[in-house]
Amino acid sequence: MATQKGEHRQRDSIIDLALLNDLAICTGWFSPVSISFPDSLGSDHAAISINWTPPYDLLPYVPQLLPGFIIDDSLVSSWTKDFALLPTPAISSLLSLTAAADALDTDIYAVSGKLFKRHHTPDFQGLHWWNLHCEAALSAVSST
């Protein structure tokens, strides 16, 4: 079925797709696909809709902590000050180099943990459309 109205002399075309595999269709969890130009609010692309009714309650989504932090550039003076207060190790051998690298890693983690929020998964920061319904759907998909 056409999903985009052609302009002037152009023919209508199939540019938008809705795909379901055979197993999804057989479950009865999905409604038939609806393609509607009136529902598209004046767009030249049709609104494509489908309803999903899972046979169980969605699992609650609990974000996991990931390694790393969300760096806040406005705190540059704070982390610069904190790093300046840390001792600079003397490096004279491979063993002292390894110890200095480990200390630097620990110091970065400590200073970052003091100033910044931890990353969570998924990190959809900046995507204004992402909401609890999206998180619930992601949780359901991830658990199946």
pTM above 0.75, yes or no: no
Domain holding 22, by residue range, is: 1-55
Q: How many CA atoms lie within 13 A of 118 on its CB side?
A: 10
**Mean pLDDT over each residue of the chain, to the nearest integer:** 82
Residue-level pLDDT at 6: 78
Residue 67 in any domain: the answer is: no
* Residues 107, 76 share a domain: yes
Residue 122 in any domain: the answer is: no
pLDDT category at 128 given cuts 50, 70, 90 is: low
Q: How many domains does the chain have?
A: 2
Q: Which residues of 68-103 are buried (b: 16+ CB within 10 A; e: fewer)?
A: ebeeeeeeeeebeebeeeeeeeeeeeeeeeeeeeee
* Residues 50, 2 share a domain: yes
Residue 124 in any domain: the answer is: no
Residue-level pLDDT at 84: 92
* Residues 92, 50 share a domain: no
In sequence order, the 6+-apart residues with CB closer than 8 A to the CB of 45 are: 3, 4, 15, 16
Residue-level pLDDT at 98: 92
CB atoms within 10 A of CB 46: 22
